[in-house]
């Protein structure tokens, strides 16, 4: 079983559903409100865990009502909270999510709260577990110093370092130097490179910018158009899978958790991308972010059905 570690956000999603999203000044009658575990870091690690990995997330939460929702999630999933610091003086992070029931699109306000206290020391407190990890996975919902620290330990122990550069935040260019896999969506790719990504040629140009920053492999997710990969020499374009989406909130996190698991297991790159694509495709057919993540047997079955690949 592969082992994945890294700093990541733990957030409680407060999600409201409505027939359409309100414009400024408009009040829309919604249909339901849900509270559930989320956060890009926790979503990615939940996806990796359900896909077959052992995971260790480095994070922080409060000892409040929202914190108890996260605690219950980790206990139910059988995921470790070894490096999740419970701070009674801190506020557990939250995300206010609006879902358009007509097309499953969303708007999100994230209040990072305790996640902004995940720093270099938090990551180095977990150094022992970096030594036997198979991959390091992170994103931008904690602090940049936590990302730098995770990259430092990944390099120290020779582990592949996977960075989902989401959500977009202004970061030092050096943060990308030495990243083994960067996994932006088309919007994030444009924000970090200045290249508007609409076509495969645009993907190549954006990837070139990432290579100039020191990234080794680039994966750009393109929504319904699939996922593009290049290492500067070869290219792979994996098509998306047609499904009936009900909520797209955790799709990118699902993709990254699936990709990290596949990379940690040493699967060929095309197979890894197919595994990640199937993980994301199943996730959008379900409500919630962390709760929507599929289990390994579901991913494997869809891989065989859509790509003719058996694991």
Structure confidence at residue 35 (pLDDT): 94
Tokens 């690690």, located at residue: 45
Residue 280: which H helix or E strand, with range? Answer: helix 269-283
Q: Is the pLDDT of residue 287 over 90?
A: no
For residues 226-231, give the mean pLDDT: 98
What is the residue-averaged pLDDT of the chain?
96
Structure confidence at residue 247 (pLDDT): 82
Give 151-209 pLDDT, tens digit per residue.
999 999 999 999 999 999 999 999 999 999 999 999 999 999 999 999 999 999 999 99
Is the Cα torsion angle 296, 154, 122, 176 positive or negative in sign? negative
Structure confidence at residue 235 (pLDDT): 98
**Residue 270: pLDDT band by 50, 70, 90 thresholds?**
very high
- Return the C-alpha torsion angle 161, 80, 142, 267, nearest 10: 20
Give 52-87 pLDDT, tens digit per residue.
999 999 999 999 999 999 999 999 999 999 999 999
**Residue 248: pLDDT band by 50, 70, 90 thresholds?**
confident
**Residue 259: pLDDT band by 50, 70, 90 thresholds?**
very high
Domain boundaries along the sequence of the chain: 3-22+32-307
Structure confidence at residue 183 (pLDDT): 98
Count of helix runs (H) and strand runs (E) in the chain: 10, 13
Distances (CA, A) of 50 to 41, 54, 148, 232, 257: 14, 9, 27, 32, 9
Q: Which residues are catalytic?
A: 253
Structure confidence at residue 202 (pLDDT): 97
**Residue 255: pLDDT band by 50, 70, 90 thresholds?**
very high
Predicted TM-score of the model (pTM): 0.94
Domain 3-22+32-307 sits in CATH at 3.40.1190.20
């Amino acid at each position: 079983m592969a082992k994945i570690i890294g700093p990541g956000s733990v957030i409680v999603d407060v999600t409201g559903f409505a027939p359409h999203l309100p414009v400024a000044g408009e009040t829309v009658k919604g249909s339901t409100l849900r509270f559930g575990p989320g956060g890009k870091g926790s979503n990615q690690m939940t996806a990796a865990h359900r896909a077959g990995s052992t995971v260790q997330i480095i994070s922080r939460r409060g000892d409040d009502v929202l914190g108890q929702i996260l605690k219950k999630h980790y206990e139910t999933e059988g995921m470790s909270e070894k490096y999740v610091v419970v701070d009674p003086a801190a506020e557990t992070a939250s995300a206010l999510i609006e879902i358009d029931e007509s097309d499953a699109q969303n708007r999100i306000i994230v209040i990072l709260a305790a996640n902004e206290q995940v720093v270099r020391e938090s990551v180095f407190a977990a150094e022992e577990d970096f030594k036997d990890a198979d991959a390091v996975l992170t994103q931008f919902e904690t602090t940049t110093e936590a990302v730098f620290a995770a990259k430092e330990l990944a390099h120290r122990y020779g582990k592949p370092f996977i960075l989902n550069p989401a959500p977009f935040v202004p970061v030092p260019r050096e943060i990308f130097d030495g990243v083994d896999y960067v996994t932006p969506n088309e919007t994030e790719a444009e924000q970090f490179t200045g290249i508007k990504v609409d076509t495969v040629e645009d993907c190549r140009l954006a990837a070139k910018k990432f290579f100039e920053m020191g990234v080794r492999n680039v994966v750009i997710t393109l929504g319904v158009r699939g996922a593009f990969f290049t290492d500067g020499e070869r290219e792979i374009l994996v098509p998306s899978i047609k499904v009936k989406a009900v909520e797209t909130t955790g799709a990118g996190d699902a993709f990254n958790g699936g990709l990290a698991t596949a990379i940690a297991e040493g699967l060929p790159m095309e197979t890894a991308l197919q595994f990640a694509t199937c993980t994301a495709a199943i996730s959008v057919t379900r409500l919630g972010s962390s709760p929507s993540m599929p289990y390994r047997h579901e991913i494997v079955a869809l891989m065989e059905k859509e790509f003719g690949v058996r694991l």
